[in-house]
Amino acid sequence: MNREMEDDINDPISHGSARESEDAEHQPASDGTPDQSLRVEFDHIGLAFPHPTDTWPLLAGALGGRFVASGRGPGYGWSQMAFANGFKIEGIHPEESSDGSEHAFVQTFIDQHGAGPHHLTFSANDLELAMERLQAIGITPLSLDHDDEEFAWSELLIGPVEGHGILVQVLGDLDNDPLPPADVPEGFPERDIDAPVASLSRVVHAVADLDGAVQLFRDGLGGHVVSSGCAVDGNHWVELAWLGGGRLRLLEGVNADIAAWIGHRRGRIRHLFFNFDEPEYIAGAEMVSQGRWVVDQNNVLGTRLVLSSTARLALDTD
């Protein structure tokens, strides 16, 4: 990888050229008319791992992720961690079904792709309206109703082809009451009360078709464009926000190393971008430019992390 050329790593202040959107609050729907009735939150990114504890040392012990909840479904288990800005990471792992049935989709995914990014999950206030918005741009997601081992729920699923390289899940639970506090599992890392906690600022998704991806996540899923720009390698990017702390940066992958990295795929999660005050203490982190540190994906089971330390920059300039 040529780190001198890649957006989000080399320059901690301005990555290529960038501009803030003039319409970050009210993004028009696909027909050009404002749509205030659909409310959507970018809830979490899901990562697949062989074991439920695989993410704990780095994401919880080092970066301060707070345990939120866990559960199980047919053939899989899940657990979630939240970061300082409320954005979450969900880990899913294979488990035997209690009834002995075969639901091995997580294990199949790991066998075929390795551990790492599996899905992006959004929460909407109205699944029927979300379906209409998606159908208006030519996408008909799979609509499913579940009655799992613990609770019933409904979802829309957009497969990786139409999801630009990632499974996209839309839940209809935005207005549901929050889950009660869950008991922290045995062995979950304990941290000092004054230890720094990272913010998961954005998910960066490299895509072969930037316009098509923007149409999905903006027009179909109600994202607001908050900034856009061009990296120094010529790849453009567009960043979207929803309710809550989750942001998604869509990075064009048609030039230089990123195009080769995407290859024949529709897209790939490039990295998770964190703001964190003490990146130099993270095991495996490599400083690549002033205020930027990288933990390569082999060190975090398939997910590369980029760590930004504006606090460190401020100290260096005092």
User: What is the model's pLDDT at position 298?
Assistant: 73
- Asked if domains 40-171 and 192-317 share a fold, the reply is yes
Residues 174-211 have pLDDT tens digits of: 888 777 888 999 999 999 888 999 999 999 999 999 99
| pLDDT tens readout for residues 81-139 | 999 999 999 999 998 766 655 668 899 999 999 999 999 999 999 999 999 999 999 99
Instruction: Using CB atoms within 10 Å of the CB of residue 33, give its burial: 0 to 12 exposed, 13 to 18 middle, 19+ buried.
Output: exposed
pLDDT of residue 41: 97
DSSP class of 65: P
Options 3.10.180.10, 3.30.300.130, 3.30.420.40, 3.40.50.300; which CATH number does 40-171 get?
Answer: 3.10.180.10
Residue 9, pLDDT score: 63
Taking the domains of the chain in order of start, what are their residue ranges? Answer: 40-171, 192-317
Give the right CATH number for 192-317 from 3.10.180.10, 3.30.310.50, 2.130.10.10, 3.40.50.300.
3.10.180.10
What DSSP letter does each residue of 221-274 carry, written as one string? Answer: T--EEEEEEE-TTS-EEEEEE-BSS-EEEEEE-SSHHHHHHHTTSSEEEEEEEE
